Amino acid sequence: MSHQDQLHRYLFENAAVRGELVTLSNTWHDMITGHDYPLPVQHLLGELLVATCLLTATLKFNGDITVQLQGDGPLSLAVINGNNRQEMRGIARTHGDIAADSSLKEMVGNGYLVITISPEQGERYQGVVGLEGETLAACLEDYFMRSEQLPTRLFLRTGEYQGQTGAGGILLQALPDADTDTDNENFTHLTMLSETIKTEELIGLPATDVLWRLYHQEEVTVYAPQAVSFKCTCSRERCGEVLKTLPPAEVDHMLEEDGQIDMHCDYCGNHYIYDAVDIAAIRNDSVSRSEQLH
């Protein structure tokens, strides 16, 4: 499955519709490894990861995007962070039992879908919609209709192919100037074609084969793929910066209790250990910087 972990953008020549296809294996695996998530949560995170990749590809700027589900159910939070380089990380927080056949609403309960877009240049944007759809795809389609008024369909799949788990998805979106009856008919026609994709085809076949099976009677321009990867932004330096923000007495108390401070990253599982010498060095660095500013 060497073709995995790529995003493909494509455009229909005779219809005002754009498309994206993403297939993921390693990125999803790396994200959930080390976490004891129930199976339904693993698959929902896979769908959320696919959706974030597809949404990131619709943005026309450099920056970050966060897609999160939050609610009052046993799955209180599921979040994916991504950027225009298709570098992804994600996490879920659970409490209580989650049955193997749990639906989205049974896991999240009364909740919201929150999409936060943070461009490197320009203003931050956040959109919030209630979880009214039965699936994540339906909730995202509702978000697009409310926020952009663009007909959008998403097909999000997770499953197994030849013993290896994988996730994949397709996004179809009408172009902004598509508003005629013919445009609507074309969008409906391409949606019906896309709905026929089988999970094992989406995660098991090269993207070019999938696109051929779906749209071989259409004229489609497929652009060069973009690699998708798991990447956590944590570092020893960043954790040190967090420690600087804590009251010195609180840091000293943690050192007295355990002899060291263990900063654990929930996203990737890394541990950053700081002893008294490390804390002294961090404080000395803060003092030196403060003196330089004055």
Mean confidence (pLDDT) of the chain: 89
For residue 169, what is the domain's CATH number? 3.55.30.10
Does 4 have pLDDT greater than 80?
no
Mean pLDDT (whole number) for 88-117: 94
Same domain, 254 and 285: yes
Mean pLDDT (whole number) for 239-262: 86
Q: What is the pLDDT of residue 2?
A: 45
Does 293 have pLDDT greater than 80?
no
Q: Is residue 51 part of a domain?
A: yes
Q: Is residue 217 part of a domain?
A: yes
Q: What is the pLDDT of residue 290?
A: 47
Which tens digit of pLDDT belongs to each residue from 62-74?
899 999 999 999 9
Same domain, 153 and 265: no
| Spatial distance between the Cα atoms of 198 and 211, rounded to a whole number of angstroms | 12
For residue 272, what is the domain's CATH number? 3.90.1280.10
Same domain, 120 and 58: yes
Mean pLDDT (whole number) for 170-190: 89
Choose one of 230, 256, 281: the last residue of a domain.
230
| Residue, of 287 and 41, whose pLDDT is higher | 41
Phi and psi dihedrals of 260, rounded to 5?
Answer: -160, 165
Is 92:37 a contact under the CB 8 Å cutoff? yes
Same domain, 160 and 201: yes
Same domain, 12 and 95: yes
Is 5:229 a contact under the CB 8 Å cutoff? yes
% of residues, the chain, pLDDT over 70: 96
Predicted confidence band of residue 287 (pLDDT cuts 50, 70, 90):
low
| Residue, of 234 and 23, whose pLDDT is higher | 23
Mean pLDDT (whole number) for 157-186: 88
Predicted confidence band of residue 176 (pLDDT cuts 50, 70, 90):
confident
129-153-107 Cα angle (round to 5)? 45
Domain count, the chain: 2
- Considering only 20-34, 153-167, 255-269, 276-290, which range has the smallest mean pLDDT? 276-290
Q: What is the pLDDT of residue 73?
A: 95
Q: Is residue 1 part of a domain?
A: no
| Buried b or exposed e, range 170-206, using 16+ CB within 10 angstroms | bbbbbbeebeeeebeebbeebbeebeebebebbbbbe
As a dihedral over the C-alpha atoms of residue 86, residue 227, residue 38, residue 129, rounded to 10 degrees, the angle is: 40
Q: Is residue 153 part of a domain?
A: yes
Choose one of 179, 211, 230: the last residue of a domain.
230
Q: Are strands 226-227 and 6-12 parallel, antiparallel or unpaired?
A: antiparallel
% of residues, the chain, pLDDT over 90: 60
As a dihedral over the C-alpha atoms of residue 177, residue 178, residue 182, residue 185, rounded to 10 degrees, the angle is: 180
Same domain, 129 and 247: no
Domain enclosing residue 129, as ranges: 6-230
Same domain, 192 and 265: no
Mean pLDDT (whole number) for 79-106: 93
Choose one of 230, 258, 284: the last residue of a domain.
230
Is 59:116 a contact under the CB 8 Å cutoff? no
Q: What is the pLDDT of residue 1?
A: 44
Same domain, 195 and 170: yes
Same domain, 182 and 95: yes
Is 25:161 a contact under the CB 8 Å cutoff? no
Same domain, 128 and 39: yes
- Considering only 39-43, 127-131, 222-226, 285-289, which range has the smallest mean pLDDT? 285-289
Q: What is the pLDDT of residue 99?
A: 93
Indicate the DSSP class of residue 2. T
Q: What is the pLDDT of residue 294?
A: 47
Same domain, 210 and 250: no
Same domain, 156 and 281: no
